[in-house]
Amino acid sequence: MGIYSERIFPWLLDRALGHPAIDARRASLVRGATGDVLEIGFGSGATLPFYDAAKVKQLTVVEPSDGMNRRAAGRLAASPVPVRSVPGAGEGLPFADASFDTVVTCLTLCSVDDPPKVLAEIRRVLRPGGQFLFLEHVLSDNVDRRRWQVRLTPLQKVIGVGCHLDRDTAAFVRAAGLALPPVVQEEERAFGALAPLTPLIAGQALRD
């Protein structure tokens, strides 16, 4: 791994995504997490302060980047909930079937190598009746913006270490067999000039 992806990008990301408006969305995302919880693509641990100690029995986090894991160390030490960090990636989760009540991703499915594989893994590790909670930026509903998302994704993948602007994440969630009601796209002004190209969706998908 290069110096950009392991040193500079984790630092940049903390600043770019450390906005109070994004933290408010993170807080609202993880507020519903209950029981045995898995978060995939934990990054520097920006969601961690917002987990509810009264609801979370054990939080397990998976993050493949050493640079991100280094940045997460301080937050892990101050965690409000019992937490363990496990090496791995979303495409091959090192857990038995039906291990978790809740799986969380926050701005992660844009960056994984293989979204259908990650979602199949999420379904596999969820218990029946378990929930997948997500906050993700996705392919726009607007046709003109979509064209720009497709055009700019090759550049974004370099700048954002694998981040895609053109992922139809809700479709991937449903294709994995998780039940997801209609979701509404929202622009987040904290993303600045990128806001029209990074509409957000948040939701709860259930495993039968």
Binding site for ligand SAM (CB under 6 A): 13, 17, 40-43, 46-47, 62-65, 68, 89-91, 106-108, 111-113, 162
Q: Which is nearer to ligand SAM, 120 or 128 (CB)?
A: 120
Minimum gap (Å) between residue 112 Cβ and ligand SAM: 4
Question: What tokens were used for 127?
Answer: 């218990």
Minimum gap (Å) between residue 135 Cβ and ligand SAM: 8
Minimum gap (Å) between residue 187 Cβ and ligand SAM: 18
For residue 11, the tally of other CB atoms under 10 A from its CB is: 12
Contact 69, 4 (CB under 8 A): no
Gyration radius of the chain's alpha carbons: 16
Minimum gap (Å) between residue 161 Cβ and ligand SAM: 7
Minimum gap (Å) between residue 143 Cβ and ligand SAM: 26
Q: Which is nearer to ligand SAM, 35 or 49 (CB)?
A: 49
Contact 107, 63 (CB under 8 A): no
Question: What tokens were used for 89?
Answer: 């990636």
Q: Which is nearer to ligand SAM, 17 or 152 (CB)?
A: 17
Question: What tokens were used for 125?
Answer: 């590790």
Q: Which is nearer to ligand SAM, 21 or 181 (CB)?
A: 21
Say if strands 35-40 and 83-86 run parallel, antiparallel, or are unpaired: unpaired
Contact 166, 158 (CB under 8 A): no
Q: Which is nearer to ligand SAM, 14 or 168 (CB)?
A: 14
Residue nearest to ligand SAM (CB): 43
Q: Which is nearer to ligand SAM, 116 or 144 (CB)?
A: 116
Nearest to 115 by CA among 69, 68, 162: 162
Minimum gap (Å) between residue 162 Cβ and ligand SAM: 6
Distinct helix (H) and strand (E) counts, the chain: 7, 6
Contact 70, 95 (CB under 8 A): no
Contact 83, 56 (CB under 8 A): no
